[in-house]
């Protein structure tokens, strides 16, 4: 590339919002990624880093000098800064902290003292507060003097003299109500402060249910600590959804599709190893019936069908259950009703496909006994699949394990083992 072209590319690149530059970097293989990263204007580095996923960010930070990192992070919001600092070596963290003024350091430390996935870790400290006893006119003059209101501010927070959160004063009220009224007369006391230790998932549900743009975060004594804005909540929702999808394949939300081969190899090997153990379990069940297969080789041909139908039927129940649990719709209160329903659906589908498979097996091998055995095995397996599809995620959640992560493999183990055992076991009784 000529320097002229490169300069033009850099100008186009830096005209994009940081989030789009971040998505672009994430979609590039490492060598090109490094080139494009060099083109990003230094004043945008921090904002782009804040938008990148953890893994890509870590690789870019690795290649930067400590001074570059400190310069890039200057002026970032405390919540973004707190996120990034966790990936940095201690020496760099100390330099970043040393470069901040006392006020900003105090704010950052407030955010850092809470885990990343809680309300405290999500919050920013750029709140605009007012007292309840002043008039709207005073507030209006204060804002005009202040000259600036942080982004995504739809409400000011009302606090008492001890910093306790009392409610919100929406900007729209400020603009429409009579200026001689006091804040106390106009404010909304309804949205309670979110305790800083609230899990991010619950914060996301709250924002969704109440259509919030921003909300106050309070400490255990009700004092205002900061605020959460809807843009960070949108990220939480997106990440949770990604997590559910990826963990069903044993992957992680922060996985970089463009990670170097050795990194991806090691990550995925682990999951394959777990799967191998469960596959050998199924294989061992087949091994128990070697003599039967030796006598009727058609069993070896048909046995994958029984396992496959059970796996699909079970995964349908499992997926609905995982989503229902995540949305709070499935609990022990309605588990019995759901189980009855899923077992009935399993029975009906079992009978339907037992007839179809039985008929095909009969024509294929011209053997009514094989047809009867595979039909019975399919009904048994689809009922077991319904049972396992609902009870496995509920049991995993009770054990504190993410149902999306372990559910799929546990289910397949059950449907393979039950499928092979039912099919070959019945065959050994009636065919051999």
Where in 154-193 is the site for its own copies (CB under 8 A)? Answer: 154, 171-172, 174-176, 178
Cβ closest to its own copies, residue 149 vs residue 429: 149
Q: CB 249 → its own copies: shortest distance, Å?
A: 4
Can you count the helices (H) and strands (E) in the chain? Answer: 21, 6
Residues 220-239 that bind its own copies (CB under 8 A): 230-231, 233-235, 237-238
At its nearest, how many Å lie between its own copies and the CB of residue 235?
Answer: 8
Residues numbered 283 to 322 that lie near its own copies (CB under 8 A) are: 283, 286-287, 290, 293-294, 297-305, 307-309, 312-313, 315-316, 318-322
11-30: contacts with its own copies (CB under 8 A): 17, 19-20, 23, 26-29
Cα 57 to Cα 37, 87, 266, 427: the distances in Å are: 11, 8, 20, 57
Of 66-74, 84-92, 93-101, 336-344, the segment contacting its own copies by CB under 8 A is 336-344
Q: Would you state the structure tokens that stand for residue 243, as one six-digit string?
A: 């997590």
- Judged by CB under 8 A, the chain residues 348 through 367 that form the site for its own copies are 348-349, 352-353, 356-357, 360, 364
Contact string 251-270 vs its own copies (x = CB under 8 A): x---x-xx--x--xx--xx-
Alpha-carbon gap, residue 314 to 28, rounded angstroms: 37
130 binds its own copies (CB under 8 A): no
Nearest to residue 26, comparing CAs of 3, 57, 4? 57
Contacts with 394 (C-beta within 8 Å, 6 or more apart), sequence order: 321, 325, 330, 332, 335, 403
Instruction: Give every CB contact of residue 187 below 8 A, 6+ residues apart in sequence.
Output: 132, 158, 166, 167, 168, 169, 173
Residue among 59 and 412 whose Cβ is closer to its own copies: 412
The Cα–Cα gap between 383 and 242 comes to 30
User: Closest CB to its own copies among 174 and 414?
Assistant: 174
For 296-309, give the DSSP string. Answer: -THHHHHHHHHHHH
Minimum distance, C-beta of residue 96 to its own copies, in the bound complex (Å): 24
C-alpha distances (whole Å) from 125 to each of 80, 99, 160 are 11, 19, 17
Supply the minimum distance, in Å, between the C-beta of residue 220 and its own copies. 25
Which residues, numbered 398-417, are part of the site for its own copies (CB under 8 A)? 412, 416
Residues 234-259 as b or e (16 or more Cβ within 10 Å = b): eebeebbebbbebbbebbebbbbebb
Kindly tell me which of 265 and 430 has the beta carbon lying closer to its own copies.
Answer: 265
Other CB atoms closer than 10 Å to residue 172's CB: what's the count? 10
Q: How far is the CB of 244 from its own copies (least distance, A)?
A: 6
Residues, the chain? 432
Return the number of the residue (222 or 250) whose C-beta is nearest its own copies: 250
Residue 400: both structure tokens together: 């504190």
Q: Is 75 in the site for its own copies (CB under 8 A)?
A: no
**In the complex, least distance from residue 169 CB atom to its own copies, rounded to whole angstroms:** 12
167: left (phi over 0), alpha (psi -120 to 50) or beta: left
Nearest-approach distance from CB 107 to its own copies, in angstroms: 20
Identity of the residue, 54 or 235, whose beta carbon is nearer to its own copies in the bound complex: 235
Residues in 364-393 that interact with its own copies by CB under 8 A: 364
Partners of 167 in the β-ladder: 158
Question: Is the CB of residue 204 less than 8 Å from the CB of residue 241?
Answer: no
Q: Give the residue with the Cβ less far from its own copies, 117 or 255.
A: 255
CB of 134 to its own copies, least distance (A): 15
The nearest distance, CB 190 to its own copies, in angstroms, is 10
Both structure tokens of 382: 């689809």
């Amino acid at each position: 590339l000529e320097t002229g072209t490169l300069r033009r590319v850099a100008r186009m690149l830096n005209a994009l919002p940081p989030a789009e530059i971040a998505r672009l970097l994430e979609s590039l293989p490492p060598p090109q990624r490094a080139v494009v990263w060099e083109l990003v204007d230094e004043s945008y580095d921090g904002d782009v880093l804040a938008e990148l996923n953890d893994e890509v960010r870590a690789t870019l930070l690795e290649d930067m000098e400590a001074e570059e990192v400190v310069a890039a992070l200057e002026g970032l919001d405390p919540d973004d800064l707190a996120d990034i600092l966790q990936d940095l070596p201690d020496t760099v963290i100390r330099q970043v902290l040393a470069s901040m003024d006392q006020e900003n350091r105090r704010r950052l430390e407030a955010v850092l003292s809470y885990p990343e996935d809680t309300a405290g870790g999500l919050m920013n400290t750029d709140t605009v507060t007012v007292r309840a006893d002043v008039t709207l006119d005073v507030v209006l003059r204060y804002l005009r003097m202040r000259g600036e209101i942080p982004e995504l501010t739809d409400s000011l927070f009302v606090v008492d003299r001890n910093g306790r959160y009392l409610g919100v004063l929406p900007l729209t009220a400020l603009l429409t109500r009579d200026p001689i009224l006091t804040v106390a007369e106009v404010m909304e006391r309804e949205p309670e402060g979110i305790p800083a230790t609230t899990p991010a998932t619950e914060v996301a549900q709250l924002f969704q249910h109440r259509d919030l743009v921003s909300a106050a975060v309070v400490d255990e004594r009700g004092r205002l600590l900061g605020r959460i804005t809807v843009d960070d909540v949108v990220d939480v929702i997106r990440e949770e959804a990604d997590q559910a999808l990826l963990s069903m394949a044993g992957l992680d939300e922060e996985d970089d599709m463009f990670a170097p081969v050795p990194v991806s190899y090691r990550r995925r090997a682990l999951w394959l190893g777990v799967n191998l153990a469960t596959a050998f379990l199924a294989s061992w069940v087949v091994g128990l019936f070697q003599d039967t297969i030796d006598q009727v080789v058609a069993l070896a041909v048909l046995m994958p069908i029984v396992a496959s139908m059970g796996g699909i039927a079970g995964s349908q129940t499992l997926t609905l259950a995982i989503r229902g649990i995540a949305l709070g719709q499935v609990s022990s209160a309605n588990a019995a009703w759901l189980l009855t329903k899923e077992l009935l659906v399993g029975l009906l589908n079992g009978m339907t496909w037992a007839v179809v498979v039985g008929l095909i097996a009969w024509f294929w091998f011209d053997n009514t006994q094989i047809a009867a055995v595979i039909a019975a095995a399919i009904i048994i397996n689809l009922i077991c699949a319904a049972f396992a599809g609902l009870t496995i995620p509920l049991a995993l959640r009770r054990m504190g394990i993410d149902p999306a992560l372990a559910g799929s493999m546990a289910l397949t183990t059950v449907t393979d083992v039950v499928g092979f055992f039912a099919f070959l076991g019945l065959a050994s009784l009636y065919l051999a």
